[in-house]
Amino acid sequence: MANGFNKLLEQELEAGRGLNSYRRIITDLFGIERLPGNKCRFNPQKQDINAAELNLQELAYCFLGRDYKRTLSEQWVPGLLNYHLIESGSGAPVMASQFANISGLVATVVGMLDAIVWQNYNNPQFIGLQIVDVRERRVEGGKIIGVRADTRLETGGLAKGEELPAFGLQEIWVTIPESRRYGGRVQVDQFAFIYDRTDQIIDAAAKLGTKVAHDIEQVIAKAVLGITNTYEYCGTANNFYQSTAGSYPFDYVNQVANPLNDWTAVNTARQLLEGNKDPSGLPITLPLGNVYVMPQKELNARTILRATEILTGTQTSGGGFPLSIRRTENPIGGFDLVPLNRVWYNVAYAALGNVSAAEGLWLYGDTKKAFVWASILPFTTTTAPLAASELARGVALDYQAQQVGSIVQVDPRFICKNTIS
């Protein structure tokens, strides 16, 4: 397999398409799909080559020849410089063929790392960025403007000659918390090729992708579950979840002791949200919401939401069989179930310190309308030029991955937090 990469590189160079064309081809072969906005994702359906099956030593041998150890030692630095010049868009300088081979080897290793990092970053168990609204931001912090109507409405019509109420002039906003950077790097030294430390490098790349996804999942879980509170409406901080209505504009209730035992619990949460009014005084009508449960309660929730029929009856005074039974279709069959993962449970348990309370915590509503991920920099991978100190330590490649953003608690009237007590 390794020899095929070298032949592909020679083919692209001979055709005049250069190293960039080679990089695009191997990226596609590894299953990295390009998306609009200079974004990527791992798509297993488009993967022709499993990056985990590659061997660093074989790659070095195929690209650099039998004397690859000496080539790595003597010509790696100019070859790596050639790669970075091409990557930065500075053109493809005419250099010795072995430098082009080193650049091809670097491109192949970077493609391999990309595939493994993206595959683990896109692990379907991480749902945080899927269940909140992701918005691109260009500045640090600031505001999300236009959360709700900005005019307090009075009941009844207007008197003759009365001025029409104005909308849209007053800014209504929530504050965006300071962004955080999540990321790490994988450093590959020359001995990874000489001693064939492929498994070590693959494991490090897998951990890098998982770590970034896990850290972002954790910070989103803390905000959505109300473990951390950054809610600030028009410059005034307030608890995002509250069981007792406050004064305007915080006159809402979105937290209740409501164990998920049957369909009536979902109805209780729904009616609680429907009972709120938005800051303009208008009633809120919500579409059918989602039910978000901890992994320990997923199967129990499925029996509640996916039951085809509900049987209700009246017991006799002696507690025997019901005198009468009413059979109806499940009234909450149209609600969607969203199972949370262990990251969410661990966050809840660390805050509550009680297994039953953490397992029984569930949410109802629409997290996409209640929370926003303010994205400064989407998940991005790159390689960095090596410093003299890194070269002195024998580092051959510095591969980096990072993501920058923050989670914003936007509108509490779209989500209900349910506890067991």
Q: Does 6 have pLDDT greater than 50?
A: yes
Q: Does 115 have pLDDT greater than 80?
A: yes
Structure tokens at 51: 């990056």
Distance CA 102, CA 96 (A): 10
More confident site: 328 or 406: 406
Distance CA 164, CA 154 (A): 12
Structure tokens at 6: 């070298």
**How high is the mean pLDDT of the chain?**
87
Render pLDDT for 163-202 as a digit per residue (tens, 0 to 9). Answer: 877 766 667 889 999 999 999 999 999 899 999 899 999 9
3-state SS, residue 363 = strand
The residue type of 337 is L
Among 361, 345, 103, CA closest to 221: 345
Distance CA 5, CA 412 (A): 53
Q: Does 349 have pLDDT greater than 60?
A: yes
Domain positions in the chain: 1-122, 255-370
**33-42, 91-100, 332-341, 397-406 — which is least confidently predicted?**
91-100
What does the DSSP 8-state code read for residue 277?
B
Distance CA 26, CA 316 (A): 73
**216-220, 350-354, 386-390 — which is least confidently predicted?**
386-390
- Residue written as tokens 């992701």? 134
Q: Does 366 have pLDDT greater than 60?
A: yes
Render pLDDT for 236-265 as a digit per residue (tens, 0 to 9). Answer: 999 999 999 999 889 999 999 999 999 999
Using 50, 70 and 90 to split pLDDT, how confident is the model at 57?
very high
Render pLDDT for 279-333 as a digit per residue (tens, 0 to 9). Answer: 777 788 788 899 999 999 999 999 999 887 777 766 655 566 656 677 788 888 8
E strands, 98-214, where? 133-136, 143-145, 173-175, 180-189
- Category of 365 on φ-ψ map: left (φ > 0), alpha (ψ -120 to 50) or beta: left
Give residue 92's pLDDT: 46
Write phi, then psi, for 173 (nearest 5 degrees). Answer: -145, 165
Using 50, 70 and 90 to split pLDDT, how confident is the model at 148?
low
Say how many CA atoms lie within 13 Å of 41 toward its Cβ: 11
User: Region 362-370: what's the mean pLDDT?
Assistant: 97
Q: Does 96 have pLDDT greater than 60?
A: no
Strands of the 371-384 sheet, one edge to the other: 133-136, 371-384, 395-409, 180-189
User: Region 221-229: what's the mean pLDDT?
Assistant: 98
**13-17, 149-153, 171-175, 345-349 — which is least confidently predicted?**
149-153
